[in-house]
Structure 1
């Protein structure tokens, strides 16, 4: 399970500012196996990229908060080691996966999880008559709550995504 917070919507022009992940082992969330870091956003030339005001309004991460955080060059190898060749799950994995592919590619690394699964797609299968499937609405539908200050922060979102994934698998009658 993983979640990213970014400076924008396009991996070509935006940067990752936070990575959060947790492992599911034996059908249970293992909070001892987690990855969580802020990331100081930089441009391809290495210069610091300011976090746009609009992005700060969404996730609450400011330039001050990431001033002493590792850069993506420092943080991404550790995250890739954490993931290894395992399958990954994210809410809207197309978005987060595109940032991972772009970031890894710029560093000459490989984003090659065994499989990418999406809780948004699982939500669409489980609730086909519903129109909205964002993480907030999915959490409400499943009776899940974000920790205070946890929504739109990587680790808070990934905790709820992990719970949602397990519940959706039950609803859909799937195991594994």
Structure 2
């Protein structure tokens, strides 16, 4: 099964009130990460009415994306149709799919689009199954547990997180004896 591993950076935690500031994705084909089949863009965040919004300082502290960085970036209304085409009918994978998937569903609905991947798979849930005695399953801990490293400056940036999530997904599926 081909999958698209994706990650979002946002202005906050609420898909109804906050905006997307970055999307990163990579496709896994036949159990191999295809780095050339990637999607990566900054996004100028907008509110529910499509009006531009600022990135709060607390969000900037997490991902390092500033208002200046997204000043000339396209908005989600420009990006989302293109990203949905990139995903196509494949399944999607994210670390905490509930978070990223909710932002995709809310934004797609708001724009009259359809977020309907073949399946939504979660590396947090896979980690809980693979390591049931462990309490922490955040991406940093999971990467350490699996011997994976983030590229310099890659943690909490969409594509950096996607690269590690994709590797973690493959290793977790192998560990759980699930075919990819």
Task: Tell me whether the two structures share a fold, i.e. TM-score over 0.5.
Answer: yes
| Separation (CA, whole Å) in 1 of partners of 2:76 and 2:93 | 21
Separation of aligned partners in 1, 2:153 and 2:168: 18
Q: What root-mean-square deviation, in Å, do the aligned CA atoms of Structure 1 and Structure 2 show?
A: 0.6
- Segments of structure 1 that go 5 or more residues without pairing to the other structure are none
Which residue of 28, 32, 39 maps to 2:43?
A: 39
Counterparts of 1:46 and 1:118, CA distance in 2: 29
| Deviations, residues 63-91 of structure 1 (Å, cap 9, x unaligned) | 00000000000011110000011100000
- Taking structure 1 as the reference length, what is the TM-score of the superposition? 0.99
Alignment of 1:5-154 (within 5 A): 5-154=9-158
- Is 1:165 matched up with 2:180? no
Structure 2 gaps, min length 5? none
Runs of 4+ aligned structure 1 residues displaced above 6 Å come to: none
Q: Secondary structure at the match of 1:150?
A: coil
Provide the aligned length of Structure 1 versus Structure 2. 176
Alpha carbons 2:17, 2:48 under 8 Å: kept: no
Q: Shift of the alpha carbon at 1:26? A: 1.2
